Amino acid sequence: MTAATTDHLWRHFTAAGASRLVIDRAEGCHIWDTEGNRYLDALSALYCVNIGYGPWPEISEAAKRQLDQLPFFTNWVGFATPPSLELAEKVAELVPIDVGRTFFVGGGSEAIESALKIARQYHRLRGEPTRYKFVTRRSAYHGTTLGALSVNGSPALRAQFEPLVPGGLRAPMPYRYRCPYCSDKPECTLRCADEIDAIVENEGPETVAAVILEPVQNSAGSITPPPGYFERVREICDAHGLLLVADEVICGFGRVGDWFGCTRYGIEPDLMTLAKGITSAYAPLGAVVAAPQVIEPFFAEAKTAFTHGITFGGHPLACAIALANLEIFEREDLVGRSQRLGPELKARCDQLLAEHPMVGDVRGDGYFYSLELVKDKETKETFTPAERDDLIKTFLTPRARELGVYMRFDDRGETCAQFAPPLVAGPEEFDEMVGVLRQVLDEAWERI
Ligand code: PLP
């Protein structure tokens, strides 16, 4: 037996029979496995290595300085460290929330858990303890810890772990390509947003705490908001006294062509969840940013506290790395680059849409696109679950890797090919990614 089948590591979301790779080196937009194979990373690992793999010596220098000065102290019970204070200030400067406060955690799921708890305690402090439910969208992914899982929109992810935290409500996505309400109409009618209102009315607004949405929803394939969507959601939240949580774990830090999905689409959130790009994954870190109206009841009385904490939340090493990462973002104008060059990646995806019989739709923004794959473009006929499984697991994924591109073929909604390259990628990398996708789709089409 090889080391790959006998090692002691329990990999995440890895089927017992799945192939295994060990990645031991990276540079720029490329990763290498231990067999010496090189891959173009068209997914920024997991939508997170936004600055690419460098090397960026300033990050290692910042990490070393911090470890030498203060390897750890806590953000609990009145304490803070200079990097956590400085990073909270930097985040406040970047987010579209005036005078917000940032609560640091260890990653995206913990950010969602914390947002759920902030929302519940917020309503209790305001004398509305019956508000405990959360509206999210079908297929949406918000993490795997039990609370975050409870608000996930994918039944397949939830099934093994039920019963979950009660109160998870699911609204439809703004999924123009297959929208049951308006895909046959010239423009989106925003009925998908109105459904949130209907769900809240039906449940009783006095039982609902918040609506949690990604600006661009990853799962089901880069579902982008139609014009007016978030304005309508904001109105619904205001009408019913609900908090609006923008889950920016993927969209934040340049991914969708602006600092955040909220800035890109003019969303006015009460809470924002951040992770991934905040450190470009050079260290684990997540955060929840709260707007002044949310913070107010927590700070109104000297004895009140948000009764929640995580030992490593705001770890000084992770915060120092985040600060160095954000300096690189600014110096290299990576957000501007995502804005400027994103359309070039989209143009290549659109060309594939125009030319390839298997590509039914292209969605996304910035450096984040999904191409929905179909059996028949005219009828939008899609693959059966068995066909999808076979296509993705036994053909598309391994074949793209063989051709030197690490990308994702997603099956959490309809079958999608996904690109989310590091923001340092450019036309040369776009050509390679889309070229390899074209080749694997040509071969897959022949198989079909
Ligand atoms: N929210 C969104 C939108 C995500 O995509 C993810 C992870 O991919 C999470 C939350 C959970 O983040 P983490 O895996 O860091 O716990």
Q: Cα(108) to centroid of ligand 1, in Å?
A: 4
Pocket lining: 247 vs ligand 1, CB cutoff 6 Å: yes
Inter-residue contact 313 to 130 (CB < 8 Å): no
Tokens of 400: 């793209």
Nearest CA to ligand 1 atom 8: 143
How many angstroms separate the alpha carbon of residue 381 from the centre of ligand 1? 30
Sheet holding 101-105, edge to edge: 101-105, 286-290, 271-274, 243-247, 208-213, 133-137, 168-171
Going from the Cα of 118 to the center of ligand 1, the distance in angstroms, rounded, reads 18
pLDDT at 235: 98
Q: What is the tens place of the pLDDT at every residue in 35-74?
A: 999 999 999 999 999 999 999 999 999 999 999 999 999 9
pLDDT-derived band at 1, boundaries 50, 70, 90: very low
Residue 104: its H or E element = strand 101-105
- Are 350 and 372 in contact by the 8 Å Cβ rule? The answer is no
More confident residue, 196 or 414: 196
| Average pLDDT of the chain, as a whole number | 96
How does DSSP classify residue 217? B
pTM to 2 decimals? 0.97
The pick from 109, 273, 279 for probing ligand 1's pocket by mutation, whose C-beta has the most ligand atoms within 8 angstroms, reads 109
Check pocket membership of 151 for ligand 1, CB cut-off 6 A.
no
- Tens digits of residue pLDDT in 155-171: 999 999 999 999 999 99
Percent of the chain's residues with pLDDT above 90: 93
How do residues 160-207 score in pLDDT, each as one tens digit?
999 999 999 999 999 999 999 999 999 999 999 999 999 999 999 999
Give the angle 328-93-254 at the CA atoms, nearest 5°. 45
Query: What is residue 5's predicted lDDT score, i.e. its pLDDT?
Result: 56
Residue 52 Cβ contacting ligand 1 at under 6 Å = no
pLDDT at 392: 87
Residue with tokens 């109206």: 293
